[in-house]
Amino acid sequence: MTDQAILDTLTGILRDLLGDDDIVLTPATTRPEVPRWDSFAYVSFIVATEVEYGIKFPIADVESFQTVGDIVTAIRKLKAA
């Protein structure tokens, strides 16, 4: 599972959620950069990601993700554990 593959999956989840096919996530993307990616859509995004990968982020971590790259790193860590 490469980082790019995870990024593509996350992009797909967010496009579906926000109904916006122009979204392209990079490791440096932050939430305010994506229109309509507010805290409400963020929670749905996190859970959709958890379902996709069969993982569960610790609640304290969900608040600490600054960039999409942080989420990718957390997914890799949880999949490896």
In 1-81, where does DSSP find H-type helix?
3-18, 39-53, 59-62, 68-80
Calpha distance 19→41 (Å, rounded): 11
Q: Does 41 bind other proteins (CB under 8 A)?
A: yes
- Taking residue 37's Cβ as centre, other Cβ atoms within 10 Å add up to 19
Q: Does 80 bind other proteins (CB under 8 A)?
A: no
When the beta carbons of 61 and 67 are compared against other proteins, the nearer one is 61
Instruction: Kindly tell me which residue out of 47, 53, 69, 73 binds other proteins, with binding defined by CB under 8 A.
Output: 47
Instruction: Kindly tell me which residue out of 1, 8, 44, 79 binds other proteins, with binding defined by CB under 8 A.
Output: 44
